[in-house]
Amino acid sequence: MKKEKLIIIGSGPAGLTAAIYAARAEMSPLIFEGNEPGGQLMGTTEIENFPGVPDGTMGPGLMNRMREQAKKFGGRTEFKRIEKVDFSDPSTLKLWSGDEEFPAETVIVATGASARWLNLGKGEEKFWGKGYTACATCDGAFFRDKIVGVVGGGDSACEEASFLTRFASKVYLIHRRDELRASKAMQKRVFDNDKIEILWDKTVTDLRGEEKLESVELTDTQSGKASELKLDGLFMAIGHNPNTEIFEGQLDRHENKYLKVENFVKSNVPSVFIAGDCADWRYRQAVTAAGFGCMAALEAERFLAEKE
Ligand code: NAP
């Protein structure tokens, strides 16, 4: 069984940037693309804040070009998902996709995170990207002078609601309880902002519209009463889940299940490096993930050079 020099798990901006750097360093990385090749950006529309792209670019297009760039220098992609790992021997890391085993000298974990959705079981896919989104930083500017809602009561929801008031004429913060989970400072920002109205004790129970989202059904968590709220956009901010289950017992994780890193990208296993949203619950941007991917590839390269 051939032992790979470097296996990269994940094909979002972190994984593919790591792949570009590693491929250019002639490490011939093998990239496992997983179930969602391209990662979270495949679900976005236009990206206007990626440096060097002043006219904006579509998320899927950007990811396809990153993949092309990695392949151009010798990166190899597998449309497979790694389901199990054994990192107990740092000199031979073992990974499995189904019954197939892939041994490696180094691994970069770039498995990302997934936004939590409402799981209404209806309408969510239809409106995804058509008013229903999970990233205010990415999509906020498309809602200039429009009415939007933000679901959640944590720091993300408050931050996104505040950010959206730069564009939207009105922002509803829809929260399932009667108090916010967010820090006091973040709460104050929301309370002090005239454009934000908090709808307490409410959950979104239906998404409605013809071509794009036009309104939502709210259900009061106390009375059970339903009502309709007209809006142009609904931003989910009920948290993200890091995709780190397969590393349980193999890599150190925080209590919130994000992977622990030292010196930006180092894990507790010397031959395993970590990049992107699977370790970052704070910034979560394509450009920051790409930056961590670059760092992880440079560290993997250094690790192998020192070993040789
Ligand atoms: P979070 O703190 O876990 O908050 C999630 C919010 O969504 C909670 O208010 C929760 O309600 C609500 N929620 C969860 N599931 C829901 C559901 N199915 N339906 C309706 N509401 C639901 O997540 P986060 O705000 O993304 O923050 C994650 C971490 O990043 C936190 O540690 C946060 O402090 C940090 N963060 C920091 C900053 C900053 O400092 N600038 C910015 C963003 C995030 P309940 O309150 O009722 O549980």
pLDDT in tens, 283-298: 989 999 999 999 999 9
pLDDT digits (tens, 9 = 90+) for 33-61: 998 899 888 766 678 889 999 999 988 89
pLDDT at residue 151, as a whole number: 98
Check pLDDT > 90 for residue 239: no
Centroid of ligand 1 to alpha carbon of 148 (angstroms): 18
pLDDT of residue 115: 85
Q: Which residue CA neighbors atom 43 of ligand 1 most closely?
A: 156
Res. 79: pLDDT tops 80? yes
Query: Mean pLDDT score of the chain, rounded to an integer?
Result: 95
Pick the CATH number of 4-114+240-307 from 3.90.180.10, 3.30.450.20, 1.10.10.10, 3.50.50.60: 3.50.50.60
Share of the chain above pLDDT 70, in %: 99
Element (DSSP H or E) covering residue 147: strand 147-151
- CATH 3.50.50.60 domain extents, the chain: 4-114+240-307, 117-236
Nearest 10 degrees: CA dihedral of 294, 295, 301, 305?
A: 150
pLDDT at residue 45, rounded to an integer? 66
Question: Which atom of ligand 1 approaches the CA of 240 most closely?
Answer: 26
Instruction: Report, as residue numbers or ranges, the catalytic residues.
Output: 135, 138-139
Helix (H, G, I), strand (E, B) or coil at 204: strand
Q: How confident is the model at residue 97 (pLDDT cuts 50, 70, 90)?
A: very high
Which residue has the least CA distance to atom 31 on ligand 1? 155
> Residue 104 and residue 124: Cα distance in Å, rounded?
39
pLDDT of residue 44: 66
> In the structure, which protein residues have their CB atom closer than 6 angstroms to any atom of ligand 1?
116, 151-157, 159, 176-177, 181, 203, 237-239, 281-282
The pLDDT, as a whole number, for residue 13 is 97
Domain 117-236 homologous superfamily, CATH: FAD/NAD(P)-binding domain (3.50.50.60)
CA distance 21 to 84: 26
**pLDDT above 70: residue 245:** yes
Cα-to-centroid distance, 285 and ligand 1 (Å): 17
Atom of ligand 1 nearest to the CA of 119: 18
pLDDT value of residue 43: 64
By the 8 A CB rule, do 174 and 218 touch? yes
Nearest alpha-carbon partner for 290 in 307, 272, 308, 277: 277
Which pLDDT does position 186 carry in this prediction?
93
pLDDT tens per residue across span 188-226: 999 999 999 999 999 999 999 999 999 999 999 999 999
